[in-house]
Structure 1
Amino acid sequence: MMMYSKPEYRWVIAATSAVMLAISMGLLVNGLSPFFVPLEAEFGWSRGEIALINTFGLIGLGLGGIVMGRVTDRVGVRGVVLTGAIVTGLTVLAASQAHNLWHLYALFFLAGAFGGGALFAPLMAAVGSWFRTGAGLAIGLVAAGQAAGQGGIPLASALLIEAVGWRGALLSLGLVSLATLVPLALLIRQPPAARAHTTLPADEAPTLTAISSVLIMGAAVLMCCSLMSVPLMHLVPYAQGCGIPAAQAGGIVTVMMLAAIAGRVAFGQLADWIGAIPAYLTASAWQTALVFVFMQLKSLDQLMTFAPIYGFGYAGVMTGVLVTIRRVTPTATRATCTGVIIAFAWAGHGLGGVVGGYLYDMTATYDLTFAVAALAGVVNLVIIGSLGIWLARDKGNHLLQREVATG
């Protein structure tokens, strides 16, 4: 039996997926943040216009996730992931030569649709299929890799920008992406058939229809990720506005994301212990309650101290979203539902970033940006809290009916 058909190979899949998502999501989700100031200085573009580059990438990521997820079901995961690895590297290389704003809009859309879109959903689905038990912890570990990239890539970008300028930084990042993602993609394998069709335990059977799960979870993650994207996209330029140098400002995000590595693993384990929705609620409440505190902090020491506190809880949101999707969606349509719900999540990331940029352009301060982000978090809590109450009540009624039926 080949090594990659053995159960132990699932850890290779998890580790490889973690590294690939670290690089690709670090570039596409919030890797643009250190480029705000240099692009603004060279071209005179507003921060709203620059933030829209990231929004186009996230729209592509959402739409691509739906399409590439369906393609994965038909042709297998490795070819799709290899395509995503190549496209991600090539589009970042091309972006280094851009001279017009629309060039960057188009390139980041392509990077999201056929790069990140071919990586995130297919890799997460593969990991979930390789692990019959402990899926929460496995998903948390892979999400932790993504968090590491979202912290490390902005710091690396800031250092590269200082050394070789923004074009040289994108050129370097594109080359490194190709050199790492392509070999890693070749390690990905389709899960053995016995692992690809596992179901949840009976006491966790989903109670939502496909349409209901998409509508409810889609609305929740749209709000949740709108909040999440604001510090990811605007914390670096906010810190620079406080007089903190770019490299040190990027370091604040790095510290936040280092704490996020532990947070994503911890909340994955928490989901295995207390359930997906309670874990998601806990993480969502954490980031909603603390996000506006950033506006009260002005010094590097203050921001460095608070960043890991916020980051640990915020990080659990993505893990919570993924395990909750697994909890509430019907098995037969889970891949399709997941792709659509995650598309809402990426749309939220794009919406929060660009709205935050335009609110800054209107007010010349980030106060309103972060306040609106907190409000979006409250809406998410209301939706998920109501869903949890409804599911708990439905489960109680189901158990009562079963007791009556059995006498």
Structure 2
Amino acid sequence: MIKKYLRKPHYSWLVLAALCGLAFANRACGVNILTVFFLPMAEEFDWNRTQISGAASIGALIGAGASILMGRLSDYMGPRIILGIGALIVTFSMIALSQMTMIIVFYIFYGAARVSDQGLIQTVSPSTLTKWFSGNSGRAVSIYFGFMALGGVLLPLLTHLAIMDFGWRSGWLLLASVMFFIGFVPTVLLVGSPGKGEDNTGNTKSESENVPTEFSLSQTLNSKDYWFIAIAVFVTGILTAGIGLHIVPFLVGQGLSPEIAVSTVSIRFLSSSIGGFVAGFLIDRYGPRPTVIGALAIRIISIGLLIFADTFFEAIFTGALDGFSDGAQSTAVVLLLVSYFGKSNVGGIYGVTRAFKVAGFSAGPIIAAIWFDLSGSYSAVLWAFFLLAILSVILISSTRRIKV
């Protein structure tokens, strides 16, 4: 393979570059991309938004189950095959979506892309990075999540332009091309598992790498500290998706224009990238646990301000805080797991944790929607989310490293 022709101390950065390309391209499966296709597909096929959204929810739920298996498999067989298959599934699904004429075809192939997104690519990539980097791991993971956020900003714009000029089918083909050339090709050429001495030994170890013991998956699942982390991750998944999907109608209901409401979504992705990048430096200096707690505390503030937001500045500011918190937390959680339970089985451990997060993604929008339908207001559910954010801080603050 290519890596034997390169100096080993630097190869980890090529792995990072390949995974960043994959993370960027993988935003093709995000709901913010699907939103761009809503109107043109609904107009051509007379589909309603519930029908279109259903494929995303079903795919994410199946992906949550797949993440448990794929994370475990990556510990034994390495990441290249799993990530390569995931990238190909997304590529061929996007091509198939460009040719579809029936709702069942949309469900099959968009659902497959979402399973690959949640169950394969987003599960295996972060845990792979933690195995390649002995030092600067916080920085490496933050760069990865930064490119993921960048894809969330740029790909919807590029797709929208393609749809405006050439139609919605060309939008899916564009996304297929991006995944194949930026995601699949670098991944199969560069990404593998490190052997002894192949991590980034040129860096000193950070607090996140000071691991007292390597835990097996079963030992981890028998630890109350893991369950505190898993429940906190589930809760933050509820908050991220519950607020994210309903933020526009909430702000419009507060008297703001749709344009201002939508702009908060873009601000959220941009600040998420910044939050992830800043978190990387904080993790390497202070460790992942204080970073996670700080990120969750920022989310408490953002939700508290959002409840009363009714001006342009307040909407943008709360969106920036929420995005920064989400980006910082996403970066820190995987390294928190490594610092508590070690690297050897981090793929399986992160896979289970990812399943909790995806379950929260699925539950959050439903909780907010039902609450609004029953009460006619988002106020009560936002206060409930505020209390859940406080609970997540308490849970992470209650965890401690343990030995077996």
What is the TM-score when the length of structure 1 is the normalising length? 0.80
User: Are residues 1:349 and 2:361 paired?
Assistant: yes
1:310 aligns with one of 300, 322, 325 = 322
- Could you tell me whether the CA contact under 8 Å between 2:38 and 2:52 is conserved in 1? yes
Measured in 1, the distance between the counterparts of 2:80 and 2:344 equals 22
Further displaced range: 336-345 or 98-107: 98-107
Match of 1:88 among 80, 90, 93: 90
**8 Å Cα contact 1:214/1:337 also seen in 2:** no
Equivalence for 1:15 = 17
Q: Partner of 1:193: helix, strand, or coil?
A: coil
* Corresponding letter in the other structure for 1:244: P
**Distance change (3 Å), C-alpha of 1:100 and 1:347:** farther
Q: Are 2:234 and 2:357, in contact at CA under 8 Å, matched by a contact in 1?
A: yes
Q: Distance in 2 between matches of 1:303 and 1:374?
A: 17
**Aligned residue in 1 for 2:212:** 205
Give secondary structure in 1 for the equivalent of 2:176.
helix
Q: Judging changes above 3 Å, is the alpha-carbon distance between structure 1 residues 67 and 269 closer, same or farther for their aligned structure 2 residues?
A: same
Per-residue CA deviation, residues 349-405 of structure 1 (Å, 9 max, x unaligned), is 222134334445555654455444334323322221222xxx27x79xx9xxxxxxx
SS of the equivalent of 2:190 reads coil
The counterpart of 2:141, out of the listed 139, 142, 155, is: 139
- In 2 relative to 1, CA 361–12 (structure 1 residues): closer, same or farther, beyond 3 Å? farther
Distance of 1:37 and 1:294 partners within structure 2: 28
Change (3 A) 1:332 1:305: closer
Query: How far did residue 24 of structure 1 move?
Result: 0.7
C-alpha separation in 2, matches of 1:70 and 1:26: 25
Residues matched between the structures, number:
389
Q: Which has the larger displacement, 157-166 or 258-267?
A: 157-166
User: Could you tell me how far apart the structure 2 residues matched to 1:175 and 1:191 are?
Assistant: 26
SS at match of 1:132: coil
Q: Which amino acid aligns with 1:265?
A: F
Q: Can you list the C-alpha shifts for 1:98-138, whole angstroms capped at 9, x where unaligned?
A: 55655444433321333553322322222112111121221
Aligned pair in 2 of structure 1 residues 268, 162: CA closer, same or farther (>3 Å)?
same
Q: Does 1:383 align with 2:395?
A: yes
CA distance in 1, matches of 2:262, 2:179: 20
Structure 2 residue aligned with 1:129, among 113, 128, 131? 131
**Cα displacement (A) at 1:282:** 0.8
Cα gap change, 1:219/1:309 in structure 2, threshold over 3 Å: closer, same or farther? closer
| CA displacement at 1:13 relative to structure 2 | 1.2
Most deviating of 274-283 and 20-29 = 20-29
1:244 matched to 2:254? no
In 1: Cα distance, 2:32 partner to 2:87 partner: 18
Q: For residue 138 of structure 2, what is the amino acid of its counterpart?
A: G
Q: Distance in 2 between matches of 1:282 and 1:333?
A: 27
**Distance (whole Å) between structure 1 residues aligned to residue 214 and residue 300 of structure 2:** 27
Spell out, residue by residue over 1:256-298, the C-alpha distance to the aligned partner (whole angstroms, 9 max, x if none): 2222222112112212222221111110111132135345445
1:290 aligns with 2:282: no
* Cα distance change of structure 1 residues 170 and 314 upon mapping to structure 2, 3 Å threshold: same
CA displacement at 1:8 relative to structure 2: 0.7
Structure 1 residue 281 corresponds to structure 2 residue 293 = yes
For 1:291 and 1:153, the matched residues in 2 are separated by 27
1:3-402 superposed matches below 5 A: 3-4=5-6, 6-25=8-27, 27-28=29-30, 30-35=32-37, 43=46, 45=48, 50-98=52-100, 103-160=105-162, 166-195=168-197, 204-205=211-212, 209-211=219-221, 212=223, 214-236=226-248, 242-245=256-259, 251-291=263-303, 293-294=305-306, 296-297=308-309, 302-362=314-374, 366-387=378-399, 391=400
- Counterparts in 2 of 1:356 and 1:329: CA distance versus 1, 3 Å: same
Distance in 2, Cα, partners of 1:343 & 1:5: 36
- Output the amino acid matched with 1:227: L
SS of residue matched to 1:31: helix
How far apart are the structure 2 equivalents of 1:367 and 1:97?
A: 42
Amino acid at match of 1:347: A
Please say which of residues 201-210 and 261-270 is displaced more in the overlay.
201-210
Q: Which residue of 2 aligns with 1:401?
A: none
Corresponding residue of 1:403: none
Contact 2:91 2:176 in 1 (8 A): yes
Distance apart, 1:216 and its partner CA: 2.8
* Letter of the 1:325 counterpart: L
> Where do 5+ consecutive residues of structure 1 fail to align?
399-407
Once the two structures are aligned, what percentage of the paired residues are identical? Answer: 21
2:73–2:348 Cα contact (<8 Å) kept: no
RMSD: 3.6
Contact 1:63 1:113 (C-alpha < 8 Å) held by counterparts: no
